[in-house]
C-alpha cells in the first residue's frame, strides 16, 4: 500500500463510503480505485488527485497532504545514479535490495534522515 492509498482508504472508511460508490462519483472503475489504494497502480495524476480532494471536501492542510502523498506514492521507482558518486550508487542498490526486509523503526529512521538532508541547519 502506498502512503496516498492508505490515506485515501482511511478517509473513505471514516466516512463510510464504499469503493464502488466513490469510484462511480469519480468516474473511475472500482478496480482502479482498489489498485490505487493497494499500490498496484502508480501515483494518480494531478486531475485525479484534485477530484479526490473535491470528493472528500478537504481543504488547506489536508488537501496539501493528499497532494504530497500522491507525489510520494510511486510504487515502482527508478533511481538514476549516473554521474553521481560511487556512494550514491551503493546507497541506491542497497536500498533496492534490502527495503523489503527493513522493520518499521529502521524505515522511520531512514525517512527522517532523508527528509532533513540538505536543509539548512537553522530549520
Asked if 7 and 64 count as a contact pair (C-beta separation under 8 A), the reply is: no
**pLDDT score, position 75:** 79
pLDDT confidence band for 119 (50 / 70 / 90): confident
The answer to whether residue 39 scores a pLDDT higher than 90 is no
Average of per-residue pLDDT values in the chain: 92
- 123 has pLDDT over 60: no
Give residue limits of the domains in the chain: 3-71, 78-123
Q: Under CATH, what is the fold of the domain 3-71?
A: 434 Repressor (Amino-terminal Domain) (1.10.260)
pLDDT at 121: 61
pLDDT of residue 21: 97
Cβ proximity of 107 and 36 under 8 Å: no
Q: Look up the pTM and report it.
A: 0.71
Q: Residue for cell digits 502508480? A: 42
For residue 23, pLDDT beyond 90: yes
Q: With pLDDT > 70 as the criterion, what percentage of the chain qualifies?
A: 97
For residue 69, give the nearest of 58, 79, 78 by alpha carbon. Answer: 58
Q: Which residue has the cell 470528493?
A: 55
Confidence of residue 27 (pLDDT cuts 50, 70, 90): very high
Three-class secondary structure assignment of the chain: CCHHHHHHHHHHHHCCCCHHHHHHHHCCCHHHHHHHHHCCCCCCCHHHHHHHHHHHCCCHHHHHHHHHHHHCCCCCCCCCCCCCCHHHHHHHHHHHHHHHHCCHHHHHHHHHHHHHCCCCCCC
pLDDT given for residue 102 in this prediction: 96
Amino acid at each position: 500500500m502506498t502512503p496516498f492509498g492508505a490515506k485515501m482508504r482511511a478517509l473513505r472508511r471514516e466516512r463510510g463510503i464504499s469503493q464502488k460508490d466513490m469510484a462511480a462519483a469519480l468516474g473511475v472503475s472500482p478496480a482502479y480505485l482498489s489498485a490505487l489504494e493497494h499500490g498496484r497502480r502508480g501515483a494518480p495524476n494531478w486531475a485525479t488527485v484534485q477530484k479526490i480532494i473535491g470528493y472528500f471536501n478537504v481543504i488547506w492542510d489536508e488537501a496539501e497532504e493528499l497532494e504530497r502523498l500522491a507525489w510520494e506514492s510511486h510504487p515502482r521507482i527508478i533511481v538514476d545514479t549516473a554521474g553521481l558518486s560511487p556512494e550514491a550508487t551503493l546507497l541506491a542498490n542497497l536500498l533496492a535490495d534490502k527495503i523489503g526486509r527493513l522493520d518499521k523503526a529502521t524505515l522511520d529512521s531512514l525517512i527522517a534522515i532523508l527528509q532533513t538532508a540538505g536543509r539548512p541547519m537553522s530549520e
